[in-house]
Amino acid sequence: MGVDIFLNRAQEHLRDASVDGWLLYDYRGMNPIFMDAIGDIENVTRPCWLWIPSVGEPTLLVSYVDQGRFEHLGIPRTLFVSRNDMITRLGEVIAGARCVAMEYSANATLPRVSKVDGGTMELVRGLGVDVVSSADTIQFATQQWTAQQFDSHLIAARKLSEIVLEAFAYIGDRISSGPTEFEVAEFIRSRFREDGLEVTDGPVVASNRHASDPHFEPTLKNSVPIVNGDWVLIDLWSRVAGMDSMFADITWTAYVGDRVPLENQSVFDAVVGSRDAALETIQSAFAEGRVLRGWEVDDVARNFIADAGFGDYFNHRLGHSLGREVHSNAVNLDGWETLDTRPVIPGIAVTIEPGIYLPNFGVRSEIDVFISPDGPIVTTEVQHEVVKIL
């Protein structure tokens, strides 16, 4: 997405929200949303500001030392040479504004948004403006995918859906020798490299009680062999390497044997039912033209699991935003770890991944959903039955 598109979207949202402008601030990477908005700029050593008024021309306020770093953006620059000069110039840049959006979240309710330190907030408020959260503006201006980005996600989603089944087959082909969780994770990473996907952190390959840890990552030291009668959870995420691509992220579960234990099956059924109820909620809200908040979707899934008798064992949010990062900056489906009041809007993607984690095993089922202008699209394969590794 180009800077012009970003600025136009930001101003559109600010006008709709009756906010006078968006003040982005960064110092040495403390606010990654600043660079996410305008593109990565290397070796910026002093504080920098970007003022986007709801109407009118944006302005960059940057140090005399760093002025050349921003020249390519084509945004008018105001330079400062000292701290006092910076404060004076900042007051001049935002003069006339009364309500300003910044990367702030009241009581740190949304940690992905809370990027500006308390001292800087005091400085800006001392200039006579009210500061409100930029959470909704961030989502609208920076997180909507282009058609090319959506296509890149579909490639990753297809490859992940294939690789997870290949990983289960890998276990089955070697079950007599007891392949370890780490060995399976290494197989997945090798497949990523072969298929042109990024190798980041992860994947999660977890058997039995290890699957009770939602983010278990096998190592040579903590990994155990997988044998007959084991439960296996695999969570893998990646994106196409070397391009402006979007992540895909899925979780599947399997049983090594031909008859899934009743307890495992009942937990699996509750998780899948919860996942499908959440998806239905998104689909229904879109069909009705109803604004749906992230916490509301979490609430539906959490109530489903509670009604199934497993409410005490679902201890993370329902889902997260997907983008250039696997956990990105749009709305999360979350009323548990945070209270995400942002709307689920067209142009973004989320995961739906309820989980139940008993002491001896855990179950999670994760799908990706893109909110297109025509309605929600499930972009990954959907697991309906426990995979049986024979």
Annotated domain spans of the chain: 3-142, 147-389
Interatomic CA distance for residues 307 and 312, integer angstroms:
11
- Tell me the CATH class for 3-142: alpha beta
Single pTM value for the model:
0.95
Q: In this structure, what DSSP letter does residue 369 have?
A: E
Closest CA to 249 of 313, 164, 306, 330: 164
Query: pLDDT tens digits, the chain, 390 residues: what are they?
Result: 678 999 999 999 999 999 999 999 999 999 999 998 998 999 999 999 999 999 999 999 999 999 999 999 999 999 999 999 999 999 999 999 999 999 999 999 999 999 999 999 999 999 999 999 999 999 999 999 999 999 999 999 999 999 999 999 999 999 999 999 999 999 999 999 999 999 999 999 999 999 999 999 999 999 999 999 999 999 999 999 987 899 999 999 999 999 999 999 999 999 999 999 999 999 999 999 999 999 999 999 999 999 999 999 999 999 999 999 999 999 999 999 999 999 999 999 999 999 999 999 999 999 999 999 999 999 999 999 999 999
Amino acid at 48: C
Interatomic CA distance for residues 253 and 365, integer angstroms:
7
Interatomic CA distance for residues 231 and 65, integer angstroms:
58
pLDDT at 2: 79
**99-102 sheet: strands from edge to edge:** 77-80, 59-63, 48-53, 21-26, 99-102, 130-133
Interatomic CA distance for residues 211 and 363, integer angstroms:
7
pLDDT at 1: 61
**Environment class of 343 (CB within 10 Å of its CB; exposed 0-12, middle 13-18, buried 19+):** middle
Residue-wise pLDDT tens digits, 108-122: 999 999 999 999 999
For residue 178, the tally of other CB atoms under 10 A from its CB is 14
Copy the structure tokens of residue 47: 């504080």
Torsion angle, CA of 93/142/354/236, rounded to 10 degrees?
A: -120
The CATH homologous superfamily of the domain defined by 147-389: Creatinase/methionine aminopeptidase superfamily (3.90.230.10)
Residue-wise pLDDT tens digits, 43-62: 999 999 999 999 999 999 99
Strand partners, 329: none
Interatomic CA distance for residues 336 and 267, integer angstroms:
20
